Amino acid sequence: MTTIELTRFRVAPERTEELLSARPAMLADFRADRTGFLDARLVSLPNDEWLDIVAFATPEDREASRAKGANLPGIAAFFAAIDSLVGAEDGTLAEVAEP
């Protein structure tokens, strides 16, 4: 059952480029180190907020990823650009897009 992690956070405008520059290495680290990682989408929202939508194959994969935290340099650099967490929650994918 695909688990979706929704994380909303704030980034100061002067750190936006840092966040976006760190994203490719963060995704590469997730692909290399996170069992069950499927995909991630980063959405820019108003008021310097962002929404990271991350998909994992199972809830267990999501929990294992959470336990690892920022264990690799690419992940740590991405997290370092974040000023504050607005909220986080998990859900289950309810529909699959047709190819």
**Residue ranges of the chain with per-residue pLDDT less than 70:** 98-99
DSSP H or E segment with residue 10: strand 3-10
Determine, yes or no, domain membership for 98: no
Q: Does residue 97 belong to any structural domain of this protein?
A: no
Strands of the 3-10 sheet, one edge to the other? 37-45, 49-56, 3-10, 84-92
Tokens of 36: 């069950």
The per-residue pLDDT for 99 is: 67
Tokens 């929704």 found at: 6
**pTM for the whole thing?**
0.92
Percent of the chain with pLDDT over 70: 97
CB 25 within 8 A of CB 33: no
CATH of the domain at 82: 3.30.70.100
- What's the pLDDT tens digit per position in 34-53? 999 999 999 999 999 999 99
* Domain-embedded: residue 99: no
Which pLDDT score is estimated for 14?
Answer: 98
Total domain count, the chain: 1
Q: Is residue 15 a contact partner of residue 81, using CB atoms and an 8 Å limit?
A: yes
